[in-house]
Amino acid sequence: MNENQFQEALQAQGISLTETQLQQFRTYYDVLVEWNEKMNLTGITNREDVYLKHFFDSISAAFYTDFASEPLSICDVGAGAGFPSIPLKIVYPHLQITIVDSLKKRITFLNHLADQLNLSDVAFYHDRAESFGKNTKFRESFDFVLARAVARTSVLSELCLPLVRTGGTFMMMKGADINEELEQGGMAIKALGGELVETSKFQLPIEQSDRHIVLVNKKRKTPNKYPRKPGTPNKDPIES
């Protein structure tokens, strides 16, 4: 996906980019590739692949929810090199973005990236999601929590739903074949105060690979025992 195809595909979804935003994506790519030589941020470094599989794929979250109309507070769990929340921030500058990641060098990269992109209202925290979700400053405080291909549903729900305010939304961005995973994760979603609302399927342009956007509403407060101590959700997931 070259830059023109990127613009056209977004315009088809009602998203028009300014020259300033296009330049921010160019800078994002340059900084990503430069830092990737020093640390493992992504296995995808070809420009057209980054625009398709990282930038466009990240922005696809906006095809299934309204980020444009209000200044939502968003937490991105395990964002790695900033996906999906930094591309969304470029498109919707009014969003308030918080990223939590367990690797300090990735946080160092994100701070540098935010400076290069001249972003405001962004905050980066070096922490395990389990610990972050216990922190009373952040617990049940976000309008929206995002996770992109970080872990299976049962694990992600325990890492993310404790951060969502009651009435807020948890979004999982997934690849193909999620039916069995969602079925196994149903108990976790319910136990953590969530309710599965919608699963949308689409294909990434050009390569036509399957993607799923899963939306979960936070209906009730998460019980205080969740999230459990770091590592436990992955070792002993809540599953039916």
In 3D space, the residue among 240, 234, 213 whose CA is nearest the CA of residue 102 turns out to be 234
8 A C-beta contact, residue 158 and residue 225: no
Burial class (CB in 10 A: 0-12, 13-18, 19+), 50: buried
Residue 81 half-sphere exposure toward CB, CA atoms < 13 A: 21
In 3D space, the residue among 232, 157, 156, 231 whose CA is nearest the CA of residue 195 turns out to be 157
Query: Binding site annotation covers 207?
Result: no
**C-alpha 15 chain-centroid distance:** 19
Q: What SS3 class is residue 143?
A: strand
Return the number of other C-beta atoms located less than 10 Å from residue 4's C-beta.
8
Query: Binding site annotation covers 63?
Result: no
Query: Binding site annotation covers 78?
Result: yes
**C-alpha 122 chain-centroid distance:** 14
**In whole angstroms, what is the distance from residue 91 CA to residue 100 CA?**
21
Query: Binding site annotation covers 139?
Result: no
Give the residue numbers of the binding site.
78, 83, 129-130, 148
Indicate the annotated binding residues for S-adenosyl-L-methionine.
78, 83, 129-130, 148
